[in-house]
Amino acid sequence: MSERSTAGFAGRRVLITGGLGFIGSSLAIELVRLGAHVTVLDSLLPEYGGNRFNVEPVRDRLDINICDMRDQHSLEILVQGQDLIFHLAGQVSHGDSMRDPQLDLAVNCVSSMNLVEACRRRNPGARLVYTSTRQVYGVPQKLPVTEDHPALPVDVNGINKLAAEYYHLLYDRTYDLKSVVLRLTNTYGPRQQIRNNRQGFIGIFLRQALKGEGIKIFGSGQQVRDFNYVDDVVQALLLAATTDACFGKVYNLGAPVYHPVLEMVQMLHELTGVPFETVPFPDDRKLIDIGDYYGDYSRFAAATQWQPTVGLREGLARSLDFFRTHSKEYWA
Ligand SMILES: NC(=O)c1ccc[n+]([C@@H]2O[C@H](COP(=O)([O-])OP(=O)(O)OC[C@H]3O[C@@H](n4cnc5c(N)ncnc54)[C@H](O)[C@@H]3O)[C@@H](O)[C@H]2O)c1
């Protein structure tokens, strides 16, 4: 962990939207450890990643506010007095964004608009970090994908996340509401939602590996991805929040090594013995598949010196350990 990413949080007031979710709770635990006064805001949207157990290690050392960001009034109160706001709340399922586009619009766009408006009115001095997604690029035209790649989302979620990025950047330019956008790639690790199939193939494969059910890989398995272990993403969020030069900008996260999906499954097989096979893509998944992806994160690395430190095999082993220890809360 870099010294810079841990500096400057003691005594700071921090609001984390989506703070009972996977990445938000991991960030909350780290910020409490660093001495920040943390409030997590979460609506516990049914079937997604919100889980009170996620903040169990720091339950008595942070404030939990169950509220929905679609409600502007609550936000206007909650943003007041916060030094830093990490905006992680969202509807994160690409498939669900096609089945229920209105929900995605409300959760990802309206909520984000409510947040920047609440800050403009009640706390214009706050600093915001928004977690967007590599899904805004759609099918890569060239690898690795840089921030200059055209944004041509293949699903409603990608469009709404892109709009939310623009709200943050517009308010940064127009009202000097300091905001930075990070485009996350496949993030995995302890506390992610693995109970159902809504939140990406890594969570599904982890559950299948834990249960010893056969893993079914859609397509040939040769499609490549970059993977970030959640602790590395937490460090990126902390660095983004404390690097002045980042505000007003958009950055990719990414990994120094990318892997075919089949290789990732082979690692799970070696770690658990789970059997696996490749099967044809179901039609609804094929529609929103982006083929190969890995991102160029050199701009963020240059701005902050961030580098992921946990390799895929190590990260999967740590994740399996966590989920075995806490089976009841996550998948059993
Ligand atoms: N996990 C990944 O691989 C990944 C990749 C790219 C981008 N991201 C982005 O990172 C952020 C966090 O993702 P995650 O994986 O932790 O997801 P998650 O589902 O675990 O967490 C999201 C949280 O937001 C909460 N939420 C949803 N709607 C809300 C609302 N209207 N008001 C208040 N809270 C609400 C949910 O209850 C949940 O706890 C999301 O914005 C997501 O788009 C994640």
pLDDT in tens, 239-272: 999 999 999 999 999 999 999 999 999 999 999 9
> Residue 2's pLDDT is what?
61
Q: Mean pLDDT throughout 106-112?
A: 97
Beta bridge partners of 87: 17, 130
Instruction: Specify the ligand 1 atom closest to the Cα of 134.
Output: 6
Is the predicted pLDDT of residue 12 greater than 90, yes or no?
yes
The answer to whether residue 97 sits within a structural domain is: yes
The answer to whether residue 236 sits within a structural domain is: yes
Q: How far, in Å, is the centroid of ligand 1 from the Cα of 76?
A: 20
The answer to whether residue 307 sits within a structural domain is: no
Is the predicted pLDDT of residue 235 greater than 80, yes or no?
yes
The answer to whether residue 316 sits within a structural domain is: no
The answer to whether residue 89 sits within a structural domain is: yes
The answer to whether residue 242 sits within a structural domain is: yes
Residue 226, H or E segment = strand 224-229
Backbone angles phi, psi at 208, to 5 degrees: -65, -35
Q: How far, in Å, is the centroid of ligand 1 from the Cα of 21?
A: 6
| pLDDT tens track for 143-167 | 999 999 999 999 999 999 999 999 9
The answer to whether residue 153 sits within a structural domain is: yes
Q: How many domains does the chain have?
A: 1
Q: Is the CB of 50 under 6 A from ligand 1?
A: yes
Q: Which of 295, 319, 21, 303 is nearest to 144 (CA)?
A: 295
- If one counts every other C-beta atom within 10 angstroms of the C-beta of residue 266, the result is 15
The answer to whether residue 305 sits within a structural domain is: no
> Residue 120's pLDDT is what?
98
Q: Is the CB of 184 under 6 A from ligand 1?
A: yes
- Domain residues for the domain of 84 are 11-191+227-254
The verdict on pTM exceeding 0.85 is: yes
Instruction: Specify the ligand 1 atom closest to the Cα of 200.
Output: 3
> Residue 3's pLDDT is what?
65
Backbone angles phi, psi at 93, to 5 degrees: -90, 125
Beta bridge partners of 121: none
Q: What CATH number should be reported for the domain holding residue 176?
A: 3.40.50.720
Q: Is the CB of 48 under 6 A from ligand 1?
A: yes
